[in-house]
Amino acid sequence: MYIGYMGPVVFLAASTYTLTPSGVGQEGEARWADHDLIHYKPVSEFLGPGLQSIAFDLILARQYGVDPDGAVKMLRQMRDMGVVFPLIIGGHPVSQNYWRLMSLSESDNYYGPTGNRIWCKLHVQLKEYSTDNYTEEQSKVDLYGSIGNVLATVF
């Protein structure tokens, strides 16, 4: 049964492959500023919504068809390269924005007789990535796109 995906990581529950998030928790807050006044209480100003964050656990087990070392390596690369990705659960996006991988925490590693990891519990923390600043992002795409066009023309 298809559950969703987090960029290239597909959440799926089947007889030969199972990778599902568990213990999912979501958190968000509003942004406020307090302006101090002499002899009066501070005046509060609503600045806008804050970024959402999500945390969940993944069980990576060979018995469920998942290669723990390969999955951890891919998630580390996503974190270290600053990859932003859509998060889809139950066929619906969790938010209209993309997400970024903030941290990974490994625990409960079990190894087989040959020294290969056969089971790992991974705690994943994601934070929303707002695309409201489209002008800056588009200018980066234009810059890198033009460099790619020049290199393609030269070679």
Q: What's residue 108's pLDDT?
A: 87
Q: What's residue 152's pLDDT?
A: 47
Q: How far is CA 66 from CA 15, 55, 112, in A?
A: 12, 20, 15
Which residues in the chain show pLDDT less than 50? Answer: 150-155
